[in-house]
A and B are shown apart, each in its own frame.
Chain A
Amino acid sequence: MKHDVLIQAIIYLLAMIAVVPISKRLGLGAVLGYLISGALLGPSGAGLIDGGESGASHLSELGVIMMLFLIGIEVSPRLLWQMRGPLFGLGGLQVAGTTLIFGALAVATGSPVPTAWAIGMILSLSSTAIVLQTLAERGFSKSPAGERSFAILLFQDIAVIPMLAVFPLLAPGKAEAAGRPGWQQGLIVLGAIVLLIASGRYLVRPLFRQLARLNLRETFTAAALLLVLATTALMTRVGLSPALGAFLAGVVLADSEFRHQIEADLEPFKGLLLGLFFISVGSGIDLAIPVSRPFAVASIVSCLVVLKGALVFGLGKVFKMKTADAFLLGASLAQGGEFAFVLLGIAADQGILRGPNAQLLTSSVALSMAVAPLVIAAAIRFGLPLLQAKGAERSPDLVEDKDSAALVVGIGRFGQVIVRLLRANGFRTTVLDYDGEQVDVMSRFGFKTYFGDGARPEVLRAAGIEKVGILVLAIDDQDNAVKITESVRAEHPHVKIFARAFDRVHAYKLLNAGAQSAVIETGGSAVDLGSEVLHELGFSALRSYRQGAWFRRHNNRVIRELAPLYGNTERAVFVRESRQRSEMLETLLNQEAGRGREHEDRGWDSGPYA
């Protein structure tokens, strides 16, 4: 057994780096990879890392806390309201139904009733990570099954909170009694929650706003971490679970304009710590069990998969899904979930479940997760073609928070106009800006704005770039605009980019980087003013306008034509940008010098037949 923290850390990190690519290649997903490597490296395997209660496992619990915080921050009351049907209806019935079925099975096989409740609840949860990832990989995220899976999984995530609260009540002899009468305890908890919400509104948000104004990234990140840890500590003091505290902290910040930035800042931490968490859970799996009791494990796993899948399928039909969609829904959710490990650990600690039984269930849940991607893939490949009626239409889509037509990055002078134009025509947009003061002003005038650095891919992702088809780039910073264009084209090729360009050279760079359209910010307005001058010089209004408009059209065409020659990076290395600009002006003036510059509408000439 190695106790040296450094060595442990190295082993964990090596495991993460080595395992994930392999397990992804095998189609198993990262989570399973972590579990397996934990099992292999842990006490029942190679014995390289400590199982259970080591320093590493405390750190890894932070991963769960982060995950719950980030869940909380995603749960805005408005979103919940829109999804209330599938969320509480389908989700609620799924959790309740599964709990009852497996609870009954547990009682039938000899468990005491409180234990059976715990088992039922534990097995009702499915694996958010695996389901959403697998469906996304096969392209089914937006299918009816995919969308309802999301709703049910979201409900399950929420349901964990009351489950965590209920578990201590199931323990024999109330192991976690804080020594206070129940009603006092309840009041204290309520007080803590109110304190949290109040400080959230009057302390935390203004604090974050100040930090945002200062534009200090690390301080912002530190503040987010501090928030999570502090609220967690507060909640544990009053006897609640740390997970609940983290969840509530997240909810407090859910509707704030900093949501995306916080999510982006914490995401890497969460990812790492969750990985740690799964490895340490895996190291707690006793490999001897599946080997020594194969029949028990196999029967639990098959019950879990078949019964749960069937229940969800049935619920899907009750909620009027087409047979094929309900089938995929059932297959997608037919496994145990990550939270089962958390709950099983707590159950074992509190004496609700005996150690060996907890181990048995842990192994079974892990196995069910291992086969889940295969089950889903098989359902898609073999089940759907059989069940789909010819030319069947899709069942009606869920109403979600997906009604953003475009993601607009940059809400200064340029971006504002675009957002207002879109809004005037009934299109909602998600807006991102990295200037705290701008965000403030916009928020006061009623725009839904998020604070975040659009140059960071994870911020764009958090702001939902995968859900929109259009990105409007209206930022000041020229280099960032080009970088963002390149990275979005690479990572989200379905997104069309409409970019604001500083000048011709910048427009070339953007077009060459893959923007669908790059409009020079001065082009239109300069022509407008120029047309007014023509008018002043004696042209009629129509003539002034048309000449301006034709000139602009000609200009744009030239820009598109010259794009391949200019703005490419190799040339930029050798030719200074300012030189490029003056070269270009010369070219244009030369082209226009020779022929008549005025656009002619000969049809309006008076002719002999007029």
Chain B
Amino acid sequence: MSRVLIHFAHPAIHKSRVNRQMAEAARGLADVTFHDLYETYPDFLIDVPREQELLLGHDVVVFQHPFYWYGTPSIMKEWIDLVLEYGFAYGPGGNRLKGKRWLQAITTGGPESAYDEAGHNRFTVRQLLAPIEQTATLCNMTFLEPFVAYETLRLEHHLEIPAIAARYRQTLLALQGAAP
């Protein structure tokens, strides 16, 4: 059994549809730690020791957020900048996160076809996540194939969004079930 930690970052949850249902699905799972970054740190004053302790206590680290301008909402960048300290996450003696798994779980406005060399956004999601993938790699973590929900703007509320939430839930359960 792996211990799963979800960092949720959505600055305007009251306007969210897909992320909100995904979050509900995640919150409903037993033994999964759901950590809402904007809710905990509305002033961006991230408690670094506490965050590091959380990381140490889990095997799988998930980052769930909408894909803003091909990246993360700002608090996630703040989190990465402050929490992954030299000597903790990387550098000499910085192997505390070694072997843990990293999953990016994102929602995009555009369809999958747009995220392609020939498409509107010119790069695939995996390519656009390169900085994050490299961050994880530098910390000796395993960067998993990201969970992506495309085309959220177009989705039918009653039919397709629950399906995405269910798929997300399955993904989390699978992560939980695997050995650390």
What is the interface of chain A, defined by CB distance below 8 A to chain B?
Answer: 546, 549-550, 553, 601-605, 607-609
In the complex, the answer to whether B86 meets A609 with C-beta atoms within 8 Å is: yes
Q: Which single residue of chain B is at the shortest CB-CB distance from A602?
A: B85
Decide yes or no whether B91 CB sits under 8 A from chain A.
Answer: yes
Q: Are B82 and A603 touching (Cβ within 8 A)?
A: yes
B155 within 8 A of A: no
Contact of A608 among B43, B83, B91 (CB under 8 A): B91
B41 to chain A, nearest CB (A): 11
Q: With A604-B81, A609-B91 known to touch, is A549 a contact of B86 (CB < 8 Å)?
A: no
Contact A604 B91 (CB under 8 A): no
A603/B83 contact (C-beta < 8 A), A549-B45, A550-B45 known? yes
Q: Is the CB of B86 within 8 A of A607?
A: yes
Please give, as numbers and ranges, the residues of chain A lying within 8 Å of B82 by CB-CB distance: 601-604
Minimum CB–CB distance for A595 against chain B, Å: 14
Which residues of chain A come closer than 8 Å to B45, judged between CB atoms?
546, 549-550, 553
Contact pick for B85, options A549, A550, A603, A608, CB 8 Å:
A603
A603 to B85, CA, bound (A): 5
B174 at the interface (CB under 8 A from A): no
Asked if B48 and A603 sit within 8 Å, CB to CB, the answer is yes
Residue of chain A at shortest CB distance from B90? A609
| A contacts with B: majority SS | helix
In B44-96, the 8 Å CB interface with A consists of 45, 48, 81-86, 90-91
In the complex, the answer to whether B91 meets A603 with C-beta atoms within 8 Å is: no
Tell me the smallest distance from the CB of B78 to a CB of chain A, in Å: 9
Give CA–CA (A525, B127) in the complex, Å: 47
Residues in B lying within 8 Å of A, measured CB to CB? 43, 45, 48, 81-86, 90-91, 138
Query: What is the minimal beta-carbon distance from B141 to any residue of chain A, in angstroms?
Result: 16
Which residues in B have their C-beta under 8 angstroms from that of A603?
Answer: 48, 81-85
Distance in Å from the Cβ of B102 to the closest Cβ of chain A? 18
User: How far, in angstroms, from A550 to B44 measured CA to CA in the complex?
Assistant: 11
CA distance A319 to B86 in the complex (A): 69
Whole-angstrom distance between the Cβ of A523 and the nearest chain B Cβ: 15
The chain A residue sitting closest to B84, CB to CB, is A603
Q: Which single member of B43, B83, B90, B138 contacts A549 (CB below 8 Å)? A: B43
Chain B residues, CB < 8 A from A604: 81-82
Which residues on A sit within 8 Å (CB–CB) of B90? Answer: 609
Instruction: Tell me, rounded to whole Å, the shortest Cβ–Cβ distance linking B43 to chain A.
Output: 6
User: Is B86 touching A605 in the complex (CB atoms < 8 A)?
Assistant: yes
A-B contact pairs, 25 of them (CB 8 A): A546-B45, A549-B43, A549-B45, A550-B45, A601-B48, A601-B82, A602-B48, A602-B82, A602-B85, A603-B48, A603-B81, A603-B82, A603-B83, A603-B84, A603-B85, A604-B81, A604-B82, A605-B86, A607-B86, A607-B91, A608-B86, A608-B91, A609-B90, A609-B91, A609-B138
Q: CB-CB < 8 A to B81: which residues of A?
A: 603-604
Besides A553-B45, A608-B91, 11 more A-B contacts (Cβ < 8 Å) are: A549-B43, A549-B45, A601-B48, A602-B48, A602-B86, A603-B81, A603-B83, A603-B84, A604-B82, A609-B86, A609-B138
Q: Which residues of A contact B48 (CB under 8 A)?
A: 601-603
| CA–CA, A549 and B43, complex, Å | 9
A608 to B138, CA, bound (A): 13
Min CB distance, A530 to chain B, in Å?
17
The distance from the CB of B136 to the nearest CB of chain A, in whole angstroms, is 14
